[in-house]
Amino acid sequence: MKPTRSTTRQGREKGCGAGSFATAGTFVICLLMSVACSRGGTDRPAKEALEAADLASRVHSLGETQRALELESRTARSDSPYLVVDFPAKRVELKARGRTLRVHALETYQFIVTRPPGNDAWDVTEKKPLRPLQRTRLAPGAGEDAPVDITWGPERMPSEFDLLCEGGRVLEIRASPASSSRIVRGLRAAFARLAEVLLRMSGRSSPAEGGRIRLWLSNRESRVLYWSLPEKLPVIFRAAPGLAADPPAAGQKR
Amino acid sequence: MEKMKAAIWRWVRGGDPGRRAHHWRRRASWGAALVLCLLSVNPGAARPGRASGLRAAAAEPQDLRRLRAEARKLEAEVEKLQAARSRLFRSRPAILVDTVKNRICVVQGERVLACGKCSTGSGAELTDTATGRRWVFDTPRGYFSAKGKISNPVWRRPDWAFVEEGVPVPRNAAERHVAEVLGDYAIGFGDGFFIHGTLYTRLLGANVTHGCIRADDDILEKIFEFAQPGTPIWIY
């Protein structure tokens, strides 16, 4: 007997339904198996990956520390005091033969016309205040009768000055009074950058002259720093992690 | 869930529940299932990013071993360098003068042997109106070394002392000598600068001197005891 169309269709419908169920079932089983496989299989590699990433970062950081210590050891063999600008720790240390004499908190810093230094050393040849130094003037003949000025020494010092270094490089020390907000400081930095660009365009300043780094300290700290520093001394820069390897663009503020 | 199931059915059957499923749709379903299966087994292949990068980095256990060994080696190196740096500060006594706090200390390596009050340069200036000569009363900063030490020093007054007094500078050297104003001891560190005692003890702790370092009697005695020619002096 020839099967009727309806029977055939029913049979096909049945077969088709079974096939579709099989497809869906296989799909679900595969999915479940693969999820199970991927869970069990990725646990260890993920741990290893994390450990490897941690170790790589630690090796990099230790390498930086090693280079910084080697540089400092070379500088500290001399008796001259030296300055360590520690960008990662945000502090400026005055040291002699590896011993810290004084620590200044570094509020912020800015690289102007220079790439951020890695572990590097500059030699200061002159400290130059931005405005003429206003020293107390003693009157000749006043002698023993003159009232003794017992103003704290650093109080009379400038809070903004440049440390001129060999190779035309300049380390600028600037005061950021506690009263000035981030906006004011940002505006000042932007103005300084604009002035620098204008100077460069007018040919009065060249980016090849060696570079400038600006350090912002509190008003008190910058005066104390000026008061404490000898005229000539080496400055060591301690690179921020990843700074030397991947320098941001010049003029970038951190 | 039910809705999703119905939607999948509809897609497999071509939208009409009465129609038979197209072969290409069935094959496509199988293919999709297979691709999904493969992707879930190796999800990193579909997400080229941090996960796959990490997987690649950690794929080799020898990489981990190498990194661990490198970290250990660097740690040892850093420790060695730190120890070497701490040894750089000499083991013999040294004098540290803090011109901000006006304190003077005798140290030996990491140990502080003695500390006391002192007075350092005022930073003031004096100009002789007659000759135009100018003096700045700063204590020099940086590294120095003791040149010699004397007890019961006699002050040989320099020219500025007379200008400051408003009296003529004497031609006879003997007229410059004044006893007792420098205290019991003086330790010279070059260019006419001394660490010495003072009569003006009330001014200890202030920046008032003409450049010399005036020290309290107690600490001066200890400095005198420890200082030898060549003893390092750091003024900051």
- Per-residue model confidence as pLDDT tens digits over B127-172: 998 899 999 999 999 999 999 999 999 999 999 999 998 899 999 9
CA distance B70 to chain A (A): 7
From B39, which residue of chain A is nearest by alpha-carbon distance? A34
Between A98, A135, A140, which is nearest B136 by CB?
A135
DSSP structural state of residue B201: G
Helices (DSSP H) in chain A: which residue ranges? 5-76, 182-201, 219-228
Residue with the bigger pLDDT between A78 and B13: it is A78
Which of A5, A12, A20, A75 to mutate against chain B (most B CBs within 10 Å)?
Answer: A20
> Which amino acid is residue A131, in one-letter code?
R
SS3 content of chain B, % helix, strand, coil (to 5): 40, 25, 35
CB B159 within 8 A of CB B173: no
Q: B13 contacts in A (CB within 8 Å)?
A: 16, 20
CB neighbourhood size of A55 (10 A): 20
Q: A112 forms bridges with which residues in the sheet? A: A212
What stretch of H or E contains A105? Answer: strand A99-105
CB A242 within 8 A of CB A88: no
User: How far is A190 from A251, CA to CA, in rounded Å?
Assistant: 10
Indicate whether B56 pLDDT > 50.
Answer: no
Say if B4 is an interface residue toward chain A (CB within 8 Å): no
Strands B207-209 and B111-121: parallel
Report CB contact under 8 Å: B129, A99.
no
User: How far is A108 from A176, CA to CA, in rounded Å?
Assistant: 9
Q: What b/e sequence results for A57-68 when a residue is b if at least 16 CB atoms lie within 10 Å of its CB, and e otherwise?
A: ebbebbbbbbbb
Mean pLDDT of B65-88: 91
Between A24, A59, A156, which is nearest B71 by CB?
A59
Radius of gyration from C-alpha coordinates of chain B? 41
User: How far is B110 from B133, CA to CA, in rounded Å?
Assistant: 44
User: How far is B94 from B108, CA to CA, in rounded Å?
Assistant: 6
User: How far is B180 from B197, CA to CA, in rounded Å?
Assistant: 9
Which of A21, A29, A30 to mutate against chain B (most B CBs within 10 Å)?
Answer: A30
Between A51, A138, A227, which is nearest B124 by CB?
A138
Q: How many residues does chain B have?
A: 236
pLDDT recorded at residue A151:
75
Between B64, B140, B143, which is nearest A51 by CB?
B64
- B193, B113, B104: which is closest to B153 by C-alpha? B193
* Residues 181 through 220 of chain B touching chain A, CB cutoff 8 Å: 203, 206-208
Percent of chain B whose predicted confidence (pLDDT) is above 70: 78
pLDDT recorded at residue B41:
53
- A241, A239, A85: which is closest to A172 by C-alpha? A85
Residue with tokens 């990193």: B44
- In order along its 254 residues, chain A shows pLDDT tens digits of 444 444 445 545 555 555 666 666 666 776 676 655 555 555 777 888 888 888 998 998 899 889 999 999 999 999 999 999 999 899 999 999 999 999 999 998 888 866 667 788 899 999 999 988 888 888 887 766 566 666 778 888 999 999 999 988 999 999 976 556 667 767 776 777 777 677 667 766 554 456 889 999 999 999 999 999 999 999 999 876 555 433 333 444 55
CA distance A97 to chain B (A): 5
CB A139 within 8 A of CB A146: yes
| Torsion angle in degrees (nearest 10) through CA of B106, B112, B116, B122 | 60
Indicate whether B34 pLDDT > 80.
Answer: no
pLDDT recorded at residue A6:
47
pLDDT range class, residue B48, cuts 50, 70, 90: very low
Q: A80 contacts in B (CB within 8 Å)?
A: 142-143
Q: How many residues does chain A have?
A: 254
CB A189 within 8 A of CB B135: no
CB A223 within 8 A of CB A155: yes
Residue with the bigger pLDDT between A24 and B6: it is B6
Report CB contact under 8 Å: B58, A156.
no
Which of A227, A229, A232, A233 to mutate against chain B (most B CBs within 10 Å)?
Answer: A227
| ipTM reported for the complex, 2 dp | 0.71
Q: A19 contacts in B (CB within 8 Å)?
A: 21, 26
Say if B45 is an interface residue toward chain A (CB within 8 Å): no
pLDDT range class, residue B51, cuts 50, 70, 90: very low
Report CB contact under 8 Å: B143, A37.
no
Instruction: Give pLDDT tens digits for B205-221.
Output: 999 999 999 999 999 99
Pair of tokens at residue B176: 């410059």
User: How far is B204 from B98, CA to CA, in rounded Å?
Assistant: 13
User: How far is B206 from B214, CA to CA, in rounded Å?
Assistant: 10
pLDDT recorded at residue A194:
78
CA distance B183 to chain A (A): 18
Say if B65 is an interface residue toward chain A (CB within 8 Å): no
CB B175 within 8 A of CB B159: no
> Which amino acid is residue A226, in one-letter code?
Y
Say if B139 is an interface residue toward chain A (CB within 8 Å): no
Report CB contact under 8 Å: A19, B43.
no
Strands A137-138 and A233-238: unpaired
Mean pLDDT of B9-17: 60
pLDDT recorded at residue A173:
95
Indicate whether B57 pLDDT > 50.
Answer: no
pLDDT recorded at residue A142:
72
Chain center to CA of A183: 20
Which of B24, B42, B100 to mutate against chain A (most A CBs within 10 Å)?
Answer: B100
Q: B168 contacts in A (CB within 8 Å)?
A: none
